[in-house]
Structure 1
Amino acid sequence: MSPVRPAPVFPYKLVATDLDGTLLRPDDTVSERTREALAAATAAGAAHIVVTGRSVAWTRHVLDDLGYEGIAVCGQGAQVYHAGEQRLLTSLTMDRRLAVLAIEKIEAETGPLHLAAARDGLHGEVLIGPGYQVQDGPLASIPSTDRDGLWAEPISKVYLQHPTLDDDELAAAALRIAGDL
């Protein structure tokens, strides 16, 4: 008779997962295999935390679908959300005057930008300025013809597009021009 071996001990106390390119498939869903792996890790005693660059508003639907009730660190660390309580625990907003200054500096060298701004909070609607090409997703977008209106309320993110520069070229220019801000 062979000895009974104890179940292997899970070596980690915490499993932190990003969403895009990690937990999520390209269609924004979580596979059954990933669900099973997370369930096995938590059953073995590990805590699971979601850490993502997405704002809470862009993250909530994924967490709801997953049945996730823990803590999520969102918006590049600017927001902490308790999914079980559906409550924003902390949220740091952008300095709107500094954002406007950075945009003015960038536009002085690159020409006009197409802009959008995400409002702070659980719902985080995105105000879309003229010319900005909206990405499909679950978040409500609100067209705005008033550029100053983009900064009228606390914001968590500013999105930039340029009519001729691609994303990499614009990011490099923005870093060079306003990276110190």
Structure 2
Amino acid sequence: MKLVATDLDGTLVRNDRTVSPRTIAVFRRLHDSDVVIVLVTGRPIRWIFPVYSQLGIPALAICANGAATYDPGTDTIVHSAPLEADILAEVCTRLRAEVPGVVFAVERDGGRQMRHEPDFPVGPWEADHESVGPAPLEEILTRPAAKLLVRAGVQSPDEFTARVGACLTGLAEATNSSSSGMVEVSAAGVTKASALALVARTHAVDAAEVIAFGDMPNDLPMLTWAGRGVAMANGHPAVRAAASDVTKHSNEDDGVAEYLERVFGF
């Protein structure tokens, strides 16, 4: 395998948001062996710096489910595929007509900035973040967005994602990556797989030479595209069923590190 791609939350990162010493050691060995490493996450750019500080390697990061590819060495977005403003407006119009009580937020500039409707619930860790703030929907719709975040009270994540996806068929992609009932909407054709395929081509790596790890529905396109798509032992049932392999251990117990040690003979 020439390229290792990994999701972060529920996969590489433990539930306390740390990366284990064993995992750090494995990824530094891969980096020193010239294996291409790509972090592939639903996280916005502003959420990935703690992972970089722990790993200590300048891996590319595909953020916002494929909408932005970030190079930490130059602090630049090297590829972007946002929801354009007109499409964003149509998505919100459809959903507001279809889903009672729906509220929206957008990740902009790859997730360097977030704007949300006043009633959209924001995590306590971001309530006072300088790049996060409330705005009326009219202002939210004025610019392209890396992704749209959709909530409507308490919802079953899979059922709500299916409902949103059906409403947006042909217009945008809908997925989820948590148990909170929030749906993440990207531009049509934009997934973790589409962005990872572009990175792989840049490095002259075929899909067959890629091993990818993930745990949630937003990882499914990447895991089915990669030559070896590996689901986490703690992964969503649909992800475990679709993957070509499953780790022996969860993200809490170095599942990715243990698997890579076996594959690369560390």
**In structure 1, the residue corresponding to 2:27 is in which secondary structure?**
helix
| Structure 1 pair 115–83 and aligned structure 2 pair: CA distance change class (3 A) | same
Instruction: Give the unaligned 5+ runs of structure 1.
Output: 1-11
Q: In the alignment, what sits opposite 2:10? A: 21
Larger radius of gyration: 1
Q: 2:3, 2:35 within 8 Å by CA — same for their partners in 1?
A: yes
Distance 1:127 1:120 in 2: 11
Within the alignment, does 1:162 sit opposite 2:138 as a pair? no
Structure 1 ranges of 4+ moved more than 4 A: 136-139
| Structure 1 pair 43–68 and aligned structure 2 pair: CA distance change class (3 A) | closer
- How far the C-alpha of 1:137 sits from its partner, in A, is 4.5
Distance 2:153 2:34 in 1: 50
- How far the C-alpha of 1:164 sits from its partner, in A, is 4.9
Tell me: higher relative CO, structure 1 or 2? Use CA pairs within 8 A at least 6 residues apart: 2
- Of the three residues 65, 71, 75, the one matched with 1:82 is 71
- How far the C-alpha of 1:136 sits from its partner, in A, is 4.5
Distance 2:92 2:151 in 1: 11
Distance 2:38 2:29 in 1: 14
Aligned residue-pair number: 168
Q: For residues 68-123 of structure 1, what are the alpha-carbon distances to aligned partners after superposition, in whole Å with 9 as ceiling and x for unaligned?
A: 213222222221211122222122221222122122222222223111111125x6
| Structure 1 pair 45–120 and aligned structure 2 pair: CA distance change class (3 A) | closer
Q: Which residue identity does 1:60 align to in structure 2? A: F
**In structure 2, the residue corresponding to 1:155 is in which secondary structure?**
coil
- Of the three residues 90, 110, 132, the one matched with 1:141 is 132
| Structure 1 pair 70–110 and aligned structure 2 pair: CA distance change class (3 A) | closer
Distance 1:170 1:102 in 2: 15
Q: 1:80, 1:88 within 8 Å by CA — same for their partners in 2?
A: yes
Distance 1:162 1:126 in 2: 18
More helix by share: 2
TM-score by length of 1: 0.80
Q: In the alignment, what sits opposite 1:61? A: 50
Within the alignment, does 1:126 sit opposite 2:114 as a pair? yes
Q: Which residue identity does 2:133 align to in structure 1? A: I
Distance 1:69 1:24 in 2: 17
TM-score by length of 2: 0.57
Instruction: Give the unaligned 5+ runs of structure 2.
Output: 172-266
Q: 1:115, 1:160 within 8 Å by CA — same for their partners in 2?
A: yes
- Aligned identity (percent) is 29
- How far the C-alpha of 1:41 sits from its partner, in A, is 2.2
Q: In the alignment, what sits opposite 1:171? A: 161
Q: Which residue identity does 1:54 align to in structure 2? A: R
- How far the C-alpha of 1:174 sits from its partner, in A, is 0.8
Q: 2:70, 2:79 within 8 Å by CA — same for their partners in 1?
A: yes
